[in-house]
Amino acid sequence: MLILNKCSPLRQILRRCHRQVVENSKVVNKNLTAFMGKWPEEEQQDFRLHMRIITDFISELEEQQLHEEIEPYMSRLRYEFDHWDDAIHGFRETERKKWFPHNREVLERVRQVAFEGAIMPYVHILDLAADGVIKPHVDSTRYCGTTISGISLLSDSVMRLVRTDAQRYQQSGTNAKETDSQDADSDAAYRHQPKEASLENKFYADLLLPRRSLYIMSHTARYNFTHEILAKEHSQFQGMPVPKTRRISIICRNEP
Ligand code: OGA
Ligand code: MN
């Protein structure tokens, strides 16, 4: 029989695992979010509720199994670097509906944790090259509902959310006259890019997205902020470099 005395190494490991589980079940934003600029108190509270990161959402084995399912298809695509105007540069992407059962289970966990109801049946997979970048944009309200949730594979990265001008990015209403759609030629329908890229007089948050974490971006964080993944030369969190290599994200969204 295995006897665990108070200080046995195994006991310590278990205790550490338990602590991890407890931490994971809470909102773990605290050390992973850096608020920059002048945030109105209420906005910040709202943001904390609607931009969450869960570290170690998947295990190393689950990461490997997801990667193994994606890689054979993905590796046949070519990274796109051609259209500098596009919101994403240096990427390849696909959508997948059918998954191996063990990976389907992971996605079901995402649904339970991040969504109140169903997620869209096609899960979006985005493979960002080491020197790829996701520029500031807001996902179109025509194709995506209140919540966007992503698992990060293979690399840490830094996501920046910048408060947008509510008027300008107002996407609702039937006269969906997208004020900024002329910026990009091809993916403008999916991703709205701002013209003004300066951070001056803006408030924003940098989020450290560790490899194997899940982020959940909803409501105010999804509608009122642009999101972007910093290019490797700017990949820093609170002054510390965050090496960004090739990164695959598995993104679940709900219906508009
Ligand atoms: C997108 C996007 C974020 C990510 O595809 O619109 O913002 O985590 N992706 O890859
Ligand atoms: Mn997006």
In sequence order, the 6+-apart residues with CB closer than 8 A to the CB of 49 are: 27, 219
Gap between the Cα atoms of 221 and 138, Å rounded: 10
Contact 223, 138 (CB under 8 A): yes
Model pLDDT for residues 99-155, shown as the tens digit of each residue: 999 999 999 999 999 999 999 999 999 999 999 999 999 999 999 999 999 999 999
Model pLDDT for residues 7-42, shown as the tens digit of each residue: 565 566 556 554 554 454 444 456 899 999 999 999
Residues of the domain holding 231: 62-166+201-255
pLDDT band at 212 (very low <50, low <70, confident <90, very high): very high
Q: Which of ligand 1's atoms lies nearest the C-alpha of 152?
A: 8
Domain containing residue 235: CATH number:
2.60.120.590
> Of 250, 193, 252, whose CA–CA distance to 218 is shortest?
252
Tell me how far the alpha carbon of residue 139 lies from the centroid of ligand 2, in angstroms: 5
Q: Is residue 32 part of a domain?
A: no
The single residue listed with the structure tokens 């966007």 is 148
Residues within a 6 A CB radius of ligand 1: 126, 134, 139, 150, 191, 227, 249, 251
Ligand 1 pocket test target in 227, 235, 244 with most atoms within 8 Å of CB: 227
pLDDT band at 176 (very low <50, low <70, confident <90, very high): very low
Ligand 1 pocket test target in 149, 159, 229 with most atoms within 8 Å of CB: 229
Tell me how far the alpha carbon of residue 187 lies from the centroid of ligand 1, in angstroms: 13
Q: Would you say residue 178 has pLDDT above 70?
A: no
Q: Is residue 51 part of a domain?
A: no
Give the count of alpha carbons within 13 A of 146, CB side only. Answer: 8
Q: Is residue 128 part of a domain?
A: yes
Tell me how far the alpha carbon of residue 152 lies from the centroid of ligand 2, in angstroms: 14
* Number of domain units in the chain: 1
Q: Is residue 31 part of a domain?
A: no
Gap between the Cα atoms of 180 and 6, Å rounded: 62
Q: Is residue 195 part of a domain?
A: no
Q: Would you say residue 242 has pLDDT above 50?
A: yes
Tell me how far the alpha carbon of residue 115 lies from the centroid of ligand 2, in angstroms: 17
In sequence order, the 6+-apart residues with CB closer than 8 A to the CB of 222 are: 50, 138, 139, 146, 147, 148
Backbone torsions φ then ψ of 182, nearest 5 degrees: -75, -10
Q: Is residue 192 part of a domain?
A: no
Cα 219 to Cα 33, 108, 145: the distances in Å are 17, 21, 9
Ligand 1 pocket test target in 190, 215, 249 with most atoms within 8 Å of CB: 249
> Of 89, 101, 68, whose CA–CA distance to 131 is shortest?
89
CB atoms closer than 10 angstroms to residue 241:
12
- Cα 38 vs. chain centroid, distance in angstroms? 24
